[in-house]
Structure 1
């Protein structure tokens, strides 16, 4: 296994792949309707506080799992190939949920009056799919690629959530649903590739 802290010769290619994978899994545009439902009865200051809390918490969780996830693999004697297969299956389940229901239903989505930690930061932003994506990215592409991809996606997500009202008015509920379904297909394709790569390493 390559040193996850090293910068590979395919740095920019890995960065693009990791960033796109994380972006489509988090799907910040797709959660716009859910986010609007959570904040619609809040004052402007409370909305800003919830958004900031959600972004900071999600970023912290993703960084923690990206780094600590490799240690967990070692502790339990799990190979990267096996984890890629398991992660691919999990991502595929997430894709099916997004494709059929438009959101990740497991973990709850009703949190009126609560902070941005649950369910916005987890499981909507730093959910199981995103955690799987950053762990695999850290293992295959290294710390630099993973860290930058997290910062890029979290930064884009912050901008989207900050201007969520304007974006929702432009896209509308139907537009948001269409984008979510398109992202779901991309997630499914990434998931299948994870499984194929993992199986190839295990049996070939």
Structure 2
């Protein structure tokens, strides 16, 4: 019983930290600022649902997929870092948000941003994917596997609730506040991108140089 409780706490705390819904929220606010409440809700729902499915796929088949395609977690970090950096650069220059979105473009826009970059790599990033694979390896009983699935579902649901409440902040900040927040978060995202890139590149370089 103690082992199950410890594993539950580990799953909840690690996924909350790695997914970091509070960190995703400003970016979600920025990218959905021009959308109606219903479309913003649909975007959050789809992004979180896609993230949950991806985490489950990697949790149960991650090791096999990585071996089959010859992919390493470090490569995933490098790609995530590049995506983060480009996105942060657009945010820093206030180019991330479409100033005008016609009704015909809304559906396409929602589908695009809910998958990339919100689901991947913002919510479901290299850290969360790696955590899902590692914890599933540790889950040596059916009970622990079920607990892991529930833990991911709970954190995804909390992320959804936090993203929905971001609309209140959007209204409170106004256009100027959102613009300032977008530029500030752009800088932070670029710093995170560099950390991702370096942490992924360092082991590869060390392996090449046999350090």
Q: Which of 160, 163, 168 is 1:161 aligned to? A: 163
| 2-structure distance, mates of 1:66, 1:34 | 29
The structure richer in helix per residue is: 2
| 2-structure distance, mates of 1:196, 1:167 | 38
Cα deviations across residues 50-98 of structure 1 (Å, max 9, x unaligned)? Answer: 543443233223322443332212223x2xxx61331221122023113
Q: Mean Cα displacement is larger for which, 138-147 or 166-175?
A: 138-147
State the aligned residue count: 185
Question: For 1:32-111, what aligned pairs fall within 5 Å after superposition?
Answer: 32-37=29-34, 39-40=35-36, 44-45=37-38, 47-76=40-69, 78=70, 83-102=72-91
Residues 170, 58 of structure 1: alpha-carbon distance in 2 compared, 3 angstrom cutoff: same
Contact 1:91-1:191 within 8 A present in 2 as well: yes
Contact 1:28-1:160 within 8 A present in 2 as well: yes
Partner secondary structure for residue 195 of structure 1: helix
Whether 1:132 aligns to 2:126 is yes
Contact 2:85-2:194 within 8 A present in 1 as well: yes
Contact 2:85-2:189 within 8 A present in 1 as well: no
| 2-structure distance, mates of 1:18, 1:165 | 24
Contact 2:91-2:185 within 8 A present in 1 as well: no
| 1-structure distance, mates of 2:154, 2:204 | 27
| 1-structure distance, mates of 2:39, 2:82 | 33
Contact 2:11-2:148 within 8 A present in 1 as well: no
Cα deviations across residues 7-35 of structure 1 (Å, max 9, x unaligned)? Answer: 9x9997787565434338x8232121211
| 1-structure distance, mates of 2:52, 2:8 | 22
The structure with the largest alpha-carbon Rg is: 2
**CA RMSD, Structure 1 to Structure 2 (Å):** 4.1
Q: Report deviation, 1:192.
A: 1.9
Return 5+ residue gaps in structure 1 as ranges.
1-5, 104-108
Q: Mean Cα displacement is larger for which, 137-146 or 117-126?
A: 137-146
Contact 1:51-1:158 within 8 A present in 2 as well: yes
Contact 1:29-1:180 within 8 A present in 2 as well: no
